[in-house]
A and B are shown apart, each in its own frame.
Chain A
Amino acid sequence: MAKISLKDINKVYGDKFHAIRDLTFHIEDGEFMVFVGPSGCGKSTALRMIAGLEKITSGELRIGDEIVNDVDPKDRDIAMVFQSYALYPHKTVRENIAFPLQMAGIPRDERARRVTNAARVLELTDHLDRKPGQLSGGQRQRVAMGRAIVRQPKAFLMDEPLSNLDAKLRVQMRAEIASLQRRLGVTTIYVTHDQVEAMTMGDRVAVLKAGVLQQVDTPQILYARPRNIFVAAFIGSPSMNLYEATLDGELLVLGEQTLKVPSSVFAARPAIRESANRPVIVGIRPEDIDDASVTTKPEFEEIDAPVSLVEALGAETMVHLKIDAPWVDAGDPDAVAEIGDEHTAVGRFSPATSVRPGDTARLAISADSLHFFDPETRVSLW
């Protein structure tokens, strides 16, 4: 186990494409760190640089106390699980798991013991003599995990290891990997584009966009105090609704409608006082919007909005709303394009709601949970 430190790490491909810019942070010993971001944000490149599979253009990478910029992957003592699992198809499960031990020169008896233990932990004991081609996707994923844990390395690197599994298995494996990591206590870096995976698995989550680190924090802080509108929109599902608005004293002017901002918000975010009478970007999470006629929220502000779509999910109802204010693009290239030209806000209504498409809903907005951002820098106002 080891601490991993990145200091001013850059990756430039052929003098042109700057894939990673000045990446600096530390991963503590035993910590589960998740790199998350949209496609092309550089998260896999960062992981591969830590693995030694990509050369670092500039900066300093330390594993433990050692600078490893020029150390070969085999000498870094880290294990990696690939998106495609990269199992060796000509070897049995037993041989696949034993291979790193064989390369490390571990004696045969010890190899057998460790493979048996890993197989028991991963429930692969009955499949040890099968070839990867005879296994299901979930079992292959476990073999890839087995190959990583059997070595007891300084760190695990995982590059979207669940993306090839179906949704149900992904949820199951997500919990298993997180629990295994806690049990083994090995420093882990996990790459995903799925923010739910990131939030549920990581001790801390690093959000990247276009090769630049946006924020690295615990899932709770990322959700509650996103540093900028990209993080605000990327973390949370459905995404935070972002609109241009104006602060007029204690009133937030959103299109033709107004909401009273509670004094507790001004107390918590002194910076927004300086934005009084100036444009701001306001962020409202879907869970802070409900149907005013049925809501159980203790305090709320009310505005009206036409309903364009209702998705009843049983425990909750997603309602798409047309809010009369300029919509703000958070800059997520993977964001699903809106149907038609209109951008709609999403509210997470209680299932008791009876709103229908075409209705004008009276919305209950938790004004004390509003987020505010500077429209020029797009940074959160605190």
Chain B
Amino acid sequence: MAERSTFDMGRTIVQALALLLVLSFAVPYVYLVMTSLKPAAHVQQIPPSFLPNRISVENYLTVINTQSMPRAFLSSVAVAVLTTILSLALSVPAAYVAAQYRRPITVFFLLFALITRMVPAVSLGVPLFQLLKSLGLLDTTFGLVLAHTSAAVPLVLLLLAAFFDGLPKEMEEAARMDGCSRFQAFLYIVVPVMKSGIAISALFAFITSWNEFLYALLLTSQNSKTAPIVIAEFNSVYGLSWGPMTAAAVLYSLPVVLVTLVLQKQIIGGLTFGAVKG
């Protein structure tokens, strides 16, 4: 009995810590949603209230009626979709070769990808700015796609390498015996077999680009601003417009929140794939 009660105590502590962790992420988001639903006059009241005293959609109407927001939203979609496509096009073959044809050079390649994830994004911002400037790609959708791809590829590569690591090498060999070249075996067999892993990796690439702020701030000015920049710049003659800003942030977060909710099992499976293989 004593052992059982000790076990329960430990479990309670772990659950309490987990709850604290969840709250630390959830409270700011819930507060964001609550603020977006407050009437404009109550948004900046002092002391601030957590719950709106009256539900209002006027902030959302303001956002929808601005000119910059829908355009920025479309720009975000274009950049995120193109980043996802480019990241996958580069990472899927690279991760497959790195995982299935393991050599010292491919291990180094994956480690190097890991190292680039460790480098603070801001330290890469200046070289990226210079590079895109020299290529004439500053403030263009394609320029931002290249920058976002450089951030997404290491993550997608590592994630996919973990997925491909679990794929039996015999799958490709069987396809080659069945009349495929190496590339056909990869295209007709390996890619369809790994489609769920590729889909999860695509989602991570999309989210990386969708949520990205720093590169968008540094590398765009007028033409290809993405939604996070426009949201941050939401202001009025009275200063920052917290109400519309929070409403825009909620609208912008909805696609990824919904997709994450729908695919949460697969995402967690994807994140722990390498750890619990077998």
Contact = CB atoms under 8 A, between A and B. Distances in A.
Contact of A88 (B176, B181, B189): B189
A87 B177 CA distance: 12
A99 B193 CA distance: 14
Interface in B156-210: 168, 170-171, 173-181, 184, 189, 192-193, 195
Contacts of A51: 173, 177
A88 B177 contact: no
A85 B90 CA distance: 31
A72 B177 CA distance: 9
A294 to B, nearest CB: 51
A90 B62 CA distance: 48
Contacts of B171: 86, 88
Nearest to A82: B170
B19 to A, nearest CB: 38
A147 B178 contact: yes
Given A89-B193, A90-B195, A82 B179 contact: no
A86 B176 CA distance: 12
Given A84-B168, A88-B171, A90-B195, A78 B178 contact: no
Interface residues of A, number: 24
A298 to B, nearest CB: 53
Contacts of A82: 170, 173-174
A151 B171 CA distance: 18
Interface string B127-144: 000000000000000000
Contact of B168 (A53, A86, A104): A86
A103 B179 contact: yes
Contacts of A151: 178
A104 B179 CA distance: 7
A74 interface: yes
A73 interface: yes
Contacts of B184: 103
Contacts of B195: 90
Q: Main SS of chain B's interface residues?
A: helix
Determine which residue in B176, B189, B192 has the highest number of CB atoms from chain A within 10 A of its CB, and name it.
B176
B193 A90 contact: yes
Q: Main SS of chain A's interface residues?
A: loop
B192 A90 contact: yes
A100 interface: yes
Contacts of A52: 176
Nearest to B182: A72
A66 to B, nearest CB: 17
Interface residues of B, number: 17
B173 to A, nearest CB: 5
Contacts of B179: 74, 100, 103-104
B173 A86 contact: yes
A147 B184 CA distance: 18
B170 A100 contact: no
Nearest to B181: A74
A53 B177 CA distance: 9
Contacts of B176: 52-53, 72-74
A78 B180 contact: no
B174 A80 contact: yes
Contacts of A99: 175, 178
Interface in A154-186: 157
Contacts of A86: 168, 170-171, 173-174
A79 interface: yes
Contacts of B193: 88-90
Contacts of B168: 84, 86
B181 A72 contact: yes
Contacts of A87: 174
B178 A84 contact: no
B177 A78 contact: yes
Interface string B214-234: 000000000000000000000
A39 B180 CA distance: 30
A72 B178 CA distance: 11
Determine which residue in B178, B192, B193, B195 has the highest number of CB atoms from chain A within 10 A of its CB, and name it.
B178
Contacts of B181: 72, 74
Contact of A73 (B170, B177, B189): B177
A84 B170 contact: yes
Contacts of A103: 178-180, 184
Given A53-B177, A88-B193, 10 more contacts: A53-B173, A73-B176, A74-B178, A74-B181, A83-B170, A84-B170, A86-B174, A100-B179, A103-B178, A157-B177
Interface of A: 51-53, 72-74, 78-80, 82-84, 86-90, 99-100, 103-104, 147, 151, 157
Interface of B: 168, 170-171, 173-181, 184, 189, 192-193, 195
Shortest 5 CB-CB contacts between residues of A and residues of B: A103-B179, A86-B174, A86-B170, A100-B178, A80-B177
20 contacts: A52-B176, A53-B176, A72-B181, A73-B176, A73-B177, A74-B176, A74-B177, A78-B177, A79-B178, A80-B173, A80-B177, A82-B170, A82-B173, A84-B170, A86-B168, A88-B171, A90-B192, A103-B178, A103-B180, A147-B178
